[in-house]
Each structure stands twice: as C-alpha cells, then as structure tokens.
Structure 1
Amino acid sequence: MDILFLFPLKDHHEQRLKEAFPDVNFLFDRKPDDPAIGTSEVIVTYGADLDAAHIEKAEALKWLMVASAGLEQLPQEEISKRGITVTNVRGIHKTPMAESILAHILSGKRGLKRIYEQQASREWSKKTGSRELRGSTALILGPGAIGGEAGRLLQAFGVKTYGCNRSGRKADYMDEMLSFEGLTDVLPEMDFIISVLPSTPETRGLLNKEHFLSMKDTAVFLNFGRGDLYDEQHLIDALNEGRPAAAVLDVFETEPLPEDHPFWGMDQVTVSPHASSLSGKYVDRSLDIFIPNLKLWLEGKAGDMDNLIDTERGY
C-alpha cells in the first residue's frame, strides 16, 4: 500500500513510521502533482495544497489525513462525493495555543509591553499600568480542546470562564455555558472575548460591528480561530470607536497580512503571524494520532479511528 506525504519529515520521524509499518510503502516529501497521487490509498497533507483536480487524479485515495485542524481550504464537496475518509489532528494545538492566549493576556495585564519599551529607552519608571488578572471574566467562543485548555489555565488564575458554542452544551473548564444566540446578552460583561472557532457555515461572519461595540471599553478581543469570523472593517471601526479597547489577532481574512493593512499601524492591535500553534512537538503529536489510526485502518476498523471528520459539516 502506498502512503503519500505532501510535506517533509525529519529522518527520525520517517524511521518511526517505517519501523512501525515495515510492509507499507511510504512516499515522503512529494508534491501534489507527483504521479504517485494516482496510486496512493492514503494521502497525508497540511490541507492547503490539494484542489479538486488533485482529488480527481487521486483515483486510489480512500483516506485523507490532514495534519492540521482546519479543513476549509480542502475541496470538501469533491471529497464528500467520493466518500473519502477524512481525519485531522484536532487536539494537538491545545497546549501551544492555550499558552499563547494566556501569554498575551498576562502581557497586557502586567504591562509587559510598557516594561520592554522602558528598557529599550533606559527609562526607570514604575508606571507600567500593571493590573491583576484574578477576578476577570472571559468568554471563550469554541470551548473544545483548545478553548478548554485555555479555560483551565484561566481558571487557575481566578478568571470566571464562559463557554459559547452552537448548542450551548456543557464543556470542560467552563463555569457557565451559552449558545451563539446568547452572545449579545453576555458580551457587555466580559473582560476578555477569545475565539478559537473553526471556519464553518455557522461561524463565518458570526460577529458583526454591533457585537464589537457591545463590548466594554476596557475589554480585549482575541482571535485565534479563523479570520472569516467577522468582516475586518467592522472590527477596525469598532476599535476606533473605543470598543473593545484592544485586539490580539493571530488569524486574518488574508494571510500573510498585506503590508498596507490598517492593523499594522493600530496601537491597540497586536498582530501575530498565525504563529500561536507553533511548537517543536507538532509533528510528533501528529504522528501520535496518525500511527494508531493507521493500525486501525490496516485492520479494517476505519470507523474506530480518532478525529474522523464529517466533510459535509466541516468538522
């Protein structure tokens, strides 16, 4: 059986796979136009490099392993029509992303930006604007693996956490839960509004200018999910009107963020280059999901694999 990897692996990762599956023919660091795409039963990809034409050429493809959480860049309609099994690596981002979220929040609360600026200018001043995080409130849009870990860390700092998802169903490390319909009621009470939502038909354009303007003039909005959650001009307008007070953005409508984009020049905006999930353990954690799933696949137990995706729903 051929398994095609559309990205490079380090030598020790390749060796790990070969030792675990000596009878499998792994094809590492290939391109989507490689002829092997037509003979490979399994393709492992980050997702952005495959289009509908590639899926059509992948005549032997039965399982698509996406080494990322997002699927919006895949030709989902063509994949669904073919009945191709899709899995992803949902959950591996929770540690680095939750740590990134907390780092930005603590940096703002403890005045670290001001402290760094003072060091650069050799200025000794205790006027850093430092405040305590304890006693704050945080709304987490998408309290799944990443949102739940962020909630756990925030609770450890004495923050009351509110989780918000499509149904309002209970989620771990959330003190209270609400559905998308209840957003308007709670936004005025939140100190931090954190989105880790994926891109789905239900989440695209979920927030509008009225949502932003209903936030406190001291609130901080953080988007670590997807850039199509709102129209960026709506956020720009709201920030210029003073609500919310600031935004920390790791994802954008267009990436890389264009050099002439207003966000670059806004003091109240922190631009992060979609880097919150980066970690030296990314591939190791991906293989920790892929290897057990491949064992199940070879045993004919595809239905028992972890992180199976409903391509019609997008998650």
Structure 2
Amino acid sequence: MNVLSTVKLTHAIKEQLANHFPIITFFHDLKIDEAEQLIPRADIILTYGEDLVEDHIKAATNLKWVMVASAGIEKLPFDILKERKILVTNAKGVHGIPMAEYCLAMMLQVSRQAKALIENEKQHNWDRSVKMNELYGKTVYILGTGAIGSATAKLSKAFGMNVVGMNRDGRSVEHFDTTYKKEDILLPVKDADFIISVLPSTSATKSLVNETFLNTMKSEAVFINIGRGDVVVEEHLITALENNKLKHAVLDVFEEEPLGKKHKFWDMENVTITPHLSGITDLYLPRAIDIFIRNFNHYLDGKLTDMDNNINLVQRY
C-alpha cells in the first residue's frame, strides 16, 4: 500500500509513521505536480487540500482515501471524488486550541490597546492616558459552535465573559450561555461586545456578515473573522468601519488570498490583519497526524465507519 504525502512533514513525524506502519510505503515531501509517476500508484493521498484538481484524481487509478491535514476542504474537486466514491477525511478539531487562543489574544489586543502601547514604546512616549478595558463581563457572540467555537467559548468563560453562540438549529452546546439558530442570527448582534465568526465556506454561510448584520452591531463592538473570508461582504465591512458602525475588525481570512497589497484594509487604523495563520502553531501538524494515524488504523482494520471526520461528499462538510 502506497501513501503519497504532499504535506511537508518533520523528520520526527516521518519516523513516527514508519514505526506505526512498517509495511506501508510512504512518499514524502512531494509537490503534487512533481509526483506524476507516483499518483497512479497512490492508495492514499495526504494533502492540505489546496493542491488537488480533477486531473490528479483521474490519474490516481488506485486512490481510495484522501486525508486532508486541515479543516478547510472547499477547494477539493468534489465532483470527481464523489463519482469515484473516494473516502475523504479531514483534520477537523486540530484548530480548536490555537484558534481559541488567537481569539482571546486579539480580544485582549483591542481591549488593552496593544497597538497604541507598542507605538508609544517606539516613540519613547510615556502616555498613561491610554484607555484600558477588561474582557470580564463583556458579551462575545460566536458564529459557529463546533470544535473551534467551543474552545473559544471555554476560554472566554475563563475570562468571565458572557458567551452566546449560533448554530444551524440553536441546540445547546457546552460553554455557551445561550445559543441561537441560524434564522435568528441577528438577534444577539446588538448586545455583543465581540462577534467572532468561525464559520466555514458553504452555500449557507456566504455573505452572512453583510450590511444588515454590520449595521446592527453597536459602535463599540469588535468583529473577528477566523473562519472563511467569503462569509463577510468586504465592501460592506469597509463601509461600516469607515462610518464607525463598529469599533474594530480583526481579519485572518479574506475573500481573496493573499490579500492584495493595495487593498483598503491595509491602511485602515481600525483593522488588524493577519495572513490566515490563526490556527498554525508548533502543535498543529502533530495533532493532524495523530488523527491520520488513528484513522489509518481503522482503515487497515476495515472499520471505515469508525474513522474520524468523514466528509459527506454531497454536503461537502
């Protein structure tokens, strides 16, 4: 059995895989376009999901399973995968801790005026008039109550925040004080001090954060997006920020990436930009590989239904 990995793995992880699966042949550290001769031999492809196109799947005549070492799968060639009945799993769950920490860091950054403090330090300016706010007692509204949303809710509760969530059906979720269904998405907006979107890119989530949503926010509120860029109508967000409909936006994801050098966001003082790295830490890849190893054991035992994060190729999540 052959595993083709286009994910760049550390030497320690390669040894870990070899020790767990000594009779499996692994082809490591190959870009997909450099692996033309190996693709037809691959039974399994380990990928971040952004490099595979339909022609690769057609050429992979032995392919039975694609493991995506991230949560995002929207760029996969779903039609051919569905036609071929290829098993697809992802690394959903690995982002919970790092992305929750990112959200808390960014809420603190805005509340404690980190940008102003750093600028004062650069200017050797001893200014004690910088206004500081606490997270304690504030309300955070989290769009999406899955692994990332729940981890963010848990950390937010540790800071004494009121935590409100939104999911498809309004079901109760641990660490959330209240949850709303998608149809009622606007109800908590006006009372939220922070709104965090962890939503994936689907037909149901595109453009959810639009003019109506943003105009419902209170002027001192902060919006954070760590989900997918197309959940937000960027033109509407720019207008809302320019008209002080909200205080600040922290954006890790965008409609088009990388963000163009001339994009208006770069020069807006009330915007914090990070280059889609909220979930990337030193422990990210080891967590993803742990999921792969567990799933591979189930796969070899023929227990496909026991594998974690099986993707529905029709619903695409």
Give the TM-score of the pair, scaled to structure 2.
0.97
State the distance in 2 between where 1:88 and 1:7 align: 13
d(CA) in 2 for partners of 1:16, 1:161: 39
The amino acid that maps onto 1:298 is: L
Q: Is the Cα–Cα contact under 8 Å of residues 4 and 43 in structure 1 kept in the other structure? A: yes
Report Cα offsets for 1:277-302 as digits up to 9, x if no partner: 11111221111111111011011111
Partner AA of 2:24 in structure 1: V
Q: How big is the shift at 1:243?
A: 1.2
Residue in 2 that maps onto 1:287: 289
Specify the alignment match of 1:107 in structure 2: 109
Q: Does 1:221 align with 2:223?
A: yes
2:14 maps to which residue? 14
- Per-residue deviation, 1:304: 0.6
Q: CA deviation at 1:78?
A: 1.4
Query: Partner of 1:30 in structure 2?
Result: 30
Deviation at 1:229, TM superposition (A): 0.2
Question: How far, CA to CA, are the matches of 1:121 and 1:224 in structure 2?
Answer: 32
Q: Post-superposition shift, 1:159?
A: 0.7
Cα distance between partner residues in 1 of 2:220 and 2:247:
5
Q: Kindly provide the CA deviation profile for residues 37-89 of structure 1, in whole angstroms up to 9, marking residues without a partner as x.
A: 11111100001000111111111111100001011111112111211111111
Counterpart-to-counterpart distance in 1, 2:169 and 2:81 = 27
Distance across 1 between alignment mates of 2:50 and 2:281: 20
Q: 2:142 aligned with 1:137, yes or no?
A: no
DSSP-derived class of the 1:198 partner: coil
How far is the alpha carbon of 1:207 from its aligned partner? 2.0
Q: How far apart in 1 are the matches of 2:152 and 2:91?
A: 18
Figure out how many residues of one structure are paired with residues of the other and give that number: 315
For residue 230 of structure 1, report the CA deviation from its aligned partner. 2.1
Alpha-carbon distance, 1:244 to partner: 1.5
The equivalent of 1:267 in structure 2 is: 269
Pairwise CA distance, 1:8 = 2.1
Unaligned segments of structure 1, at least 5 residues: none
How far apart, in 1, do the equivalents of 2:312 and 2:9 lie?
27
Greater shift in the superposed pair: 180-189 or 137-146: 180-189
**Matches of 1:113 and 1:199, distance apart in 2:** 30
Q: How many angstroms apart in 1 are the aligned matches of 2:80 and 2:173?
A: 33
Q: Between the two proteins, what is the percent identity of the paired residues?
A: 43
**Paired amino acid for 1:49:** D
Aligned structure 1 segments of 4 or more residues deviating by more than 3 angstroms: none
Counterpart AA for 1:28: H
Q: 1:143–1:164: 8 Å Cα contact kept in structure 2? A: yes
1:313 corresponds in structure 2 to 315
The C-alpha deviation readout for 1:171-223, integer Å capped at 9, x for no partner, is 22110000111122221111111001111111112221111011000000000
What SS is found at the alignment partner of 1:293? Answer: helix
1:98 and 2:100 are equivalent in the alignment: yes
* 8 Å Cα contact 1:164-1:177 kept in structure 2: yes
Letter in 1 for 2:309: N
Secondary structure (helix, strand or coil) at the match of 1:244 reads coil
- Superposed CA RMSD in Å reads 1.0
Q: Tell me, in whole angstroms, the C-alpha distance in 1 between the residues paired with 2:44 and 2:101.
A: 33
Give, as a single letter, the amino acid of the residue that structure 2 aligns with 1:162. V
What's the CA shift string for 1:149-172, capped at 9, x where partnerless? 110111111111111012112222
Q: Name the SS for the 2:185 alignment partner.
A: helix
Structure 2 CA distance for aligned equivalents of residues 32 and 59 of structure 1: 15
Q: Residues 184-263 of structure 1 correspond to what in structure 2 (within 5 A)?
A: 184-263=186-265
